[in-house]
């Protein structure tokens, strides 16, 4: 059973978002890391890169698969989790603690189009 945290927003491509004012912290869900298996590499954008909701911003690589990461919101990357460069397995150990990027949102209303925890739980149960 995948862990799903309340208070976060989730995308259909299995990213989670925690909004704090205008800044969105983005990572991958516990379900996604479980499907991927042991994460061996996290490809991330650079600070000051622009991301667009629904478009690719990076990728996860594991021993059994590679998967693209899609931004749930649009804006400017203000931080990347550099710890993941040396320890990509942190995503497996704590999918909600091992955030990937932080984005200053250009349109916070995009959050309204994402799922809450209950809707995401129903989505992955399908």
| CATH number reported for the structural domain that contains residue 27 in this entry | 2.40.50.100
DSSP letters of 61-108? Answer: EESS-EEEEE-SS-EEEEEE-THHHH-TTHHHH-TTTS--EEEEES-G
Answer yes or no: is 4 within a domain.
no
Per-residue pLDDT of the chain in tens (126 residues, 90 and over written 9): 789 999 999 999 999 999 999 999 999 999 999 999 999 999 999 999 999 999 999 999 999 889 999 999 999 999 999 999 999 999 999 999 999 999 999 999 999 999 999 999 999 999
Answer yes or no: is 120 within a domain.
no
Answer yes or no: is 124 within a domain.
no
pTM, full prediction = 0.96
Answer yes or no: is 118 within a domain.
no
Range of the domain at 85: 9-108
Answer yes or no: is 36 within a domain.
yes
Answer yes or no: is 121 within a domain.
no
Answer yes or no: is 2 within a domain.
no
Q: Which residues pair with 15 in a beta bridge?
A: 28
Give the pLDDT score at 1.
73
- Any residues with CB less than 8 A from the CB of 52 and at least 6 apart, and which? 71, 74
- d(C-alpha 92, C-alpha 37), whole Å: 8
Answer yes or no: is 55 within a domain.
yes
Among residues 102, 126, 92, 120, the alpha carbon closest in space to that of 14 is found at 120
Among residues 103, 47, 108, the alpha carbon closest in space to that of 75 is found at 103
How many structural domains is the chain composed of? 1
């Amino acid at each position: 059973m995948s862990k799903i945290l309340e208070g976060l927003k989730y995308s259909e491509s299995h990213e989670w978002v925690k909004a704090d004012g205008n800044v969105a912290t983005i990572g991958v869900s516990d379900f996604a890391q479980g499907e991927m298996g042991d994460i061996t590499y996290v490809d991330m954008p650079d600070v000051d890169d622009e991301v667009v909701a629904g478009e690719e911003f990076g990728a996860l690589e594991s021993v059994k698969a590679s998967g693209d990461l899609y931004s749930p919101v649009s804006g400017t990357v203000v931080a990347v989790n550099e710890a993941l460069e040396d320890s990509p397995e942190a995503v497996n150990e704590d999918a909600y603690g091992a955030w990937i990027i932080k984005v200053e949102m250009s349109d916070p209303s995009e959050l309204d189009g994402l799922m809450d925890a209950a809707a995401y739980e129903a989505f992955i149960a399908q």
